């Protein structure tokens, strides 16, 4: 089945290359929302109306001018079991909303998994482009190009005054959500996030933890994205995000330097303990794993740990998520069983490298 190849590896091909600023920025993503004219939004569409949208859009993507971008596979969500859906969510290839809410959802994925076009999510079309490191401009350019190609064959719901019309009023206008995933262990350790988050919010951006609930960010991973979609051009939105992320990178680097200068032993101890526990533990829950992996990654970035690449940590971060663990095990696991599996996977991976 076509979907298997997208589930095998925890880390997508596009993530294997290091992007710019990859010691802090994990990935950049641009998602744009589009809808077809004269079709009810997915929320109110009947099954046959929703199927008509899938046929129309996927036909354009798979057989149309999109060939110049690459080859795409169409995956219907109704053909997937819950575990398979979970894995796609954990790899950020589909949204939680598409996995859980959509009745007639589908996704088309590019072979390297850098491009995911969701169909019948909240909107008819959601084009998502992922790049490693800080490459938010590149992600926008690619999404923009794909949008132009699709628009040659599809009639979009567009209004001169309101722009691209979307199911939710928070996406109307440009329909763009640009986001950057950053690893900020030093800013968290020095308690600076409480001060930083309101400042980021004030310039029209939002910050949220990638894993974990609410403001709690497991593994010190945060997603920073634009909030406003109407009344600003795409270029301004991208530039604003890029500028703020550059400042955050500078702050994180400064904090890391300070930590190394003032608390080298404590940091080395933290990193060493993380490595020790991760390579020896027999049981580890997701919260501890995320924290230890973050510590390990900090050690790699600070050159305190050698011989392990940061991409291994990225990979483990996804591999130790509940969906992926169970998919690999090929069965539903209790939380206790998951904690054992999680520890095993991490141990084996770290042993492989040494």
Partner 1 sequence: MLCENCGKRPATLHFTKIINGQKNEYHLCEQCAKEKGEIFSSSSESFPFHHLLSGLLNFDQMVEEHPLYTNPESQRCETCGLTFSQFKKMGKFGCSDCYKYFELQLEPIFRRIHGNSQHIGKVPLRSGKSIKLKKELSQLKAILQQKIALEEFEEAAKLRDKIRALEHKISESRG
How many chain residues are in contact with partner 1, going by CB under 8 A? 40
* Residue 210, CA distances (Å) to 96, 219, 230, 263, 348 in order: 12, 9, 25, 28, 25
Our finding on whether 11 is near partner 1 (CB under 8 A) is: no
Contact 87, 15 (CB under 8 A): no
Say how far apart CA 187 and CA 256 lie, in whole Å: 8
With beta carbons less than 8 A apart as the criterion, state whether 134 and 19 touch.
Answer: yes
Q: Could you say which of 16, 19, 39, 340 contacts partner 1 (CB under 8 A)?
A: 39
Bridge partners, 36 (sequence order):
156
Q: Which residues pair with 72 in a beta bridge?
A: 110
Q: Lay out the site mask for partner 1 across 44-83 (x = CB under 8 A, - = otherwise).
A: x---------------------------------------
Residues 286-345 that bind partner 1 (CB under 8 A): none
Coil vs helix vs strand at 330:
coil
57-93 burial, b if ≥16 CB within 10 A, otherwise e?
A: bbebbeebebeeeeebbbbbbeebeebbbbbbbbbbb
CB of 225 to partner 1, least distance (A): 15
Which of 76, 228, 310, 329 touches partner 1 by CB under 8 A? 228
Tell me the window of 65-73, 151-159, 206-214, 283-291 that interacts with partner 1 (CB under 8 A). 151-159
Give the binding range for partner 1 (CB under 8 A) out of 111-119, 211-219, 231-239, 310-318: 231-239
Cα distance between residue 270 and residue 276, in whole Å: 10
In whole angstroms, how close is the CB of 51 to partner 1 at the nearest point? 17
User: Which of 15-23, 80-88, 172-180, 334-342 is the region at the interface with partner 1 (rule: CB under 8 A)?
Assistant: 172-180
* Among 4, 81, 161, 202, contact with partner 1 (rule: CB under 8 A): 161
Annotated binding site for ATP: 27-31, 92, 126, 177-181, 208-213
Q: What is the CA radius of gyration of the chain?
A: 21
Task: State the minimum distance, in angstroms, from the CB of residue 168 to partner 1.
Answer: 6
20 binds partner 1 (CB under 8 A): no
CA atoms of 173 and 11, how far apart (whole Å)? 33
Instruction: Catalog residues that contact partner 1 under the rule CB under 8 A.
Output: 35, 37, 39-41, 43-44, 122, 144, 147-148, 151-152, 155-170, 172-174, 176, 228-234
């Amino acid at each position: 089945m076509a979907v298997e190849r997208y589930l095998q590896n925890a880390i997508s091909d596009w993530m294997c290359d290091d992007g710019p600023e990859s010691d802090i920025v994990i990935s950049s993503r641009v998602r744009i929302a589009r809808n077809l004219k004269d079709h009810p939004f997915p929320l109110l569409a009947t099954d046959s109306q929703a199927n008509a949208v899938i046929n129309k859009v996927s036909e354009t993507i798979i057989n149309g001018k999109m060939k110049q971008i690459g080859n795409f596979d169409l995956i219907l969500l109704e053909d997937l079991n819950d575990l398979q859906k979970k894995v796609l969510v954990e790899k950020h290839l589909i949204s939680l909303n598409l996995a859980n809410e959509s009745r007639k959802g589908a996704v088309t994925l590019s072979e390297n998994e850098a491009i995911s076009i969701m169909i019948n999510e909240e909107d008819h079309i959601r084009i998502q482009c992922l790049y490693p490191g800080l490459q938010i401009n590149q992600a926008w350019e690619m999404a923009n190009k794909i949008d132009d190609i699709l628009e040659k064959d599809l009639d979009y719901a567009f209004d001169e005054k309101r722009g691209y019309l979307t199911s939710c009023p928070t996406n109307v206008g440009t329909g763009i959500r640009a986001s950057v995933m950053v690893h900020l262990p030093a800013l968290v350790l020095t308690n600076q996030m409480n001060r930083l988050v309101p400042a980021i919010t004030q310039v029209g951006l939002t910050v949220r933890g990638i894993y974990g609930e609410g403001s709690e960010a497991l593994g010190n991973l945060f997603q920073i994205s634009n909030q406003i979609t109407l009344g600003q051009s795409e270029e301004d939105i991208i530039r604003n995000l890029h500028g703020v992320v550059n400042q955050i990178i500078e702050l994180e680097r400064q904090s890391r330097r300070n930590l190394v200068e003032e608390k080298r032993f404590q940091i080395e101890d933290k990193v060493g303990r993380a490595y020790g526990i991760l390579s020896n533990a027999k049981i580890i829950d997701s919260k501890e794993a995320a924290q230890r992996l973050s510590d390990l990654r900090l050690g790699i970035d600070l050159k305190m740990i050698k011989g392990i690449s940061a991409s291994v940590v990225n990979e483990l971060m996804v591999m130790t998520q509940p969906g992926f663990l169970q998919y690999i095990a090929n069965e539903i696991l209790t939380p206790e069983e998951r904690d054992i599996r999680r520890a095993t996977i991490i141990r084996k991976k770290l042993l492989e490298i040494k």
